Structure 1
Amino acid sequence: MFSILKIIRLGRCLSGIRRGLSQSNPLTPRILAAIDFDKTIIEQDSYVAVSQLLPPKQCKELVNLIPKSGWLGFISRVLQLLHSEHKVNYASVGMRVRHLQAVPGMLRVLRQLARNPEVDLCIVSDANSFFIEEWLKQYAIECLFAGVFTNPACIQASGEVLVLPYQEQTDCELCPSNLCKGSVLEELISSGRYKRVVYVGDSCNDLCAMKRLRAKDIGCIRRGYEMYGKMAAHAGDLSCSVVTWRDGHELEMLLMPKIVS
């Protein structure tokens, strides 16, 4: 659906996606629905889930290093140890991700959004292209998405999964150095392509994205998670309208009337 977008391809080399526009009539304003992956589409954090393939003691030691190494450094080390010390290859890692549960009702929300001919549906995530693609293929919904903006992953000849940064940035303090979600949203909005943007997420880097939304856009914040807890301090930073949701069933009830209005 996106013409200048590098769409995720099935295969051993999986690229992060930059930006794009719909192939439909460029003069027709559209709606962009951008959705986070971990704890928004899936119930669990995919990096934590994969790390649990390691022995508990080793896993705990790596978790303690996250404040210093960041999540990308964490999962890179997890994947390295799984392959080198425990002989766990990409197929086993992929199977672990495929078994992660969707947030209740979220699959229905995604399918409804994708059926709307005015909507471009995409994922914006600090996970990686291998994890996301494996999960989407499990539910046969990879065709629903115009694209995925995430860290690229490659499967090496040895069978090890290598995750690389989507970008290198130092300007945004809310996001990690490897991916500023706000910059992704800013590029898409500045294209002038979208009459309305809907962003759905749960964490502080999603807050960065929502800060780029306009008054006519909608930010959907998951209750009980990181960003919701910080909203008292940041509510004044948002120009968009805000809805809060617990699961996909509630999100559907709150969001769909706004999408069609």
Structure 2
Amino acid sequence: MPDLASSGPLLVFDFDCTIIHVDGDDEVQKLHPEGKIPESSELHGLYSTVGWTKFMAGVFKLLHEHKITKEEILKLMESLEFTPGMEDLIRTSVENYNAKVIIISDSNSVFINHILQHKKMDHLVDVVYTNPARWTDTGLLEIEPFHHQTHCDLSTQNLCKGTILEDYISSQSTKFSFVGYVGDGGNDFCPALRLSENDLMCVREGYSLQKQIPKHKETKGLEIKSEVQYWKSGHQILARIEEKIKEL
């Protein structure tokens, strides 16, 4: 019988402002002829009432009405740079340390898959969990929620990352040596709570998750059990992962 604990780590990544340096949903809005969604647009305020996914569906419809093409949107996605050290972190972890990589993101499948393919990194990622999207025959990008949940008030209704993480781990036939989670946003707090003392939570410095951690502890008594590493570069995360692997 193989030793299940001898398998490599599981590395879980957010996408926007984590794998890529910026937010693809924010960047695509700049393709509007005015360089942003106009202040007069009825789309403003939609996020707070119907959620981000429906807001972005409205954005894509508005861009389509302004004759912004599929090719222009995909070209923009290709231009978005990875966060410093992130490509090296993913590639080295998979190729040298037998890590399994998954992405859990509130972006969409068209953006993430196209960027990974453009960077020739799609083969390094086991699964992408995100909002499904597809192009219509007329070049409109349609998007729908990943799921609908009401059990987790730390997450949006369309995406509870903690549930997705736990479901993925329970579906695997091997036991990971540890879990490393890399994120930046408030919706990465829920999965951070699912990590054990043996795991590693990597929080991007200067982004909203860093502010949420002490806020949730103070207001709700919620505390991350794992080691927390604050990072600016993927190389910092890779160095800590290499240390953890040596400690096993």
TM-score range, shorter chain: 0.7 to 0.9
3-state DSSP of counterpart to 1:116:
helix
1:242 to 223, 228, 234: 228
1:256 to 230, 242, 248: 242
56-65 vs 219-228, which deviates more? Answer: 56-65
In structure 2, the partner of 1:68 is 49
Question: Is 1:49 aligned with 2:27?
Answer: yes
- 2: CA distance, partners of 1:118 / 1:142: 16
CA shift in 2, pair 1:57/1:155, >3 Å: closer
- 2: CA distance, partners of 1:103 / 1:43: 4
Q: Which TM-score applies when normalising by structure 2?
A: 0.87
Question: Is 1:233 aligned with 2:215?
Answer: yes
In structure 1, the partner of 2:37 is 58
Do the aligned residues in 2 keep the contact of 1:166 with 1:178 (CA within 8 Å)? yes
- 2: CA distance, partners of 1:59 / 1:43: 25
Structure 2 residue ranges without an equivalent (≥5) = none
Runs of 4+ in 1 over 6 A off after TM superposition: none
Question: Residue type of the partner of 1:134?
Answer: H
Q: Which TM-score applies when normalising by structure 1?
A: 0.83
- Report how far residue 90 of structure 1 moved: 2.1
- 2: CA distance, partners of 1:240 / 1:260: 18
3-state DSSP of counterpart to 2:74:
helix
Q: How many residues align?
A: 236
Do the aligned residues in 2 keep the contact of 1:51 with 1:59 (CA within 8 Å)? no
Same amino acid, percent of matched pairs: 35
**What is the Cα-based RMSD across aligned positions, in Å?**
2.0
- 2: CA distance, partners of 1:258 / 1:63: 45
Structure 1 residue ranges without an equivalent (≥5) = 1-24
- 2: CA distance, partners of 1:190 / 1:99: 36
- 1: CA distance, partners of 2:98 / 2:147: 30
Question: Is 1:132 aligned with 2:112?
Answer: yes
Do the aligned residues in 1 keep the contact of 2:30 with 2:37 (CA within 8 Å)? no
Q: Deviations over 1:16-75 (max 9, x none)?
A: xxxxxxxxx794644211111000011111100011111246344435432223221121
Question: Residue type of the partner of 2:234?
Answer: G
- 1: CA distance, partners of 2:54 / 2:135: 17
In structure 2, the partner of 1:89 is 69
Q: Deviations over 1:206-257 (max 9, x none)?
A: 1111111111111111110001012223455211111110122322233332
In structure 2, the partner of 1:207 is 189
Q: Deviations over 1:151-200 (max 9, x none)?
A: 11111111111111110111112211111001011113334632311110
Question: Residue type of the partner of 2:238?
Answer: E
Do the aligned residues in 2 keep the contact of 1:51 with 1:75 (CA within 8 Å)? no
Do the aligned residues in 2 keep the contact of 1:52 with 1:59 (CA within 8 Å)? no
Do the aligned residues in 2 keep the contact of 1:50 with 1:93 (CA within 8 Å)? yes
Question: Is 1:106 aligned with 2:86?
Answer: yes
1:122 to 102, 108, 124: 102
CA shift in 2, pair 1:51/1:57, >3 Å: closer
3-state DSSP of counterpart to 2:9:
strand
CA shift in 2, pair 1:255/1:52, >3 Å: same
3-state DSSP of counterpart to 1:39:
coil
2:198 to 203, 216, 224: 216
Task: Please show how residues 6-45 of structure 1 align to structure 2 within 5 Å.
Answer: 27=4, 29-45=7-23
In structure 2, the partner of 1:185 is 165
